[in-house]
Amino acid sequence: DAKTTQPTSMDCAEGRAANLPCNHSTISGNEYVYWYRQIHSQGPQYIIHGLKNNETNEMASLIITEDRKSSTLILPHATLRDTAVYYCIVRAPEGAGNMLTFGGGTRLMVKP
C-alpha cells in the first residue's frame, strides 16, 4: 500500500471548516483513499473514502486532486466533538490482505 504523509497536528476554530491535507504521491491506479478518525481511547471511526472523484457524506467531504497524489478531508463546520486524530490511508480494493496501514495521523484540535 502507498505511504501517506500528514501534518502532525492542526488547530481549527469551532464553527469553521477544518481542512486536513494528505499526500500520497506513490498511489497506484486501483488504490482508494480512506479517512478514519479516532477520538481519545475509542476505536477508529470510518469517515469517507474515494477513488478519484470528490465524495461527500453527512460527516465530511473528500477532495482528491486530478493526479491523485494528494487529497483533503473537509469538515465543513467543526465542533468540539471533532477533536480527534485523523488518519489518511491508501489501500487497494478488498481482497486478500485486508489490512489498513495506519500512519501517525493528524491530531486536530477544535478550539472554542
Please identify which residue in the block is written with the cell numbers 477544535: 110
Q: Which of 35, 99, 106, 112 binds another protein (CB under 8 A)?
A: 99
Q: Which of 7, 19, 21, 49 binds another protein (CB under 8 A)?
A: 49
The nearer residue to another protein, 32 or 61, going by C-beta atoms, is 32
Cα(58)–Cα(19) distance, integer angstroms: 16
Task: Tell me how far, at minimum, the Cβ of 40 lies from another protein, in Å.
Answer: 11
Task: Tell me how far, at minimum, the Cβ of 6 lies from another protein, in Å.
Answer: 11
Task: Tell me how far, at minimum, the Cβ of 16 lies from another protein, in Å.
Answer: 26
Find the largest Cα–Cα distance for the chain: 44
Q: Which of 5, 9, 26, 45 binds another protein (CB under 8 A)?
A: 45
28 binds another protein per the rule CB under 8 A: no
Cα(14)–Cα(40) distance, integer angstroms: 18
Binding string, residues 59-98; x marks residues near another protein by CB under 8 A: ----------------------------x-----xx-xxx
Cα(10)–Cα(18) distance, integer angstroms: 9
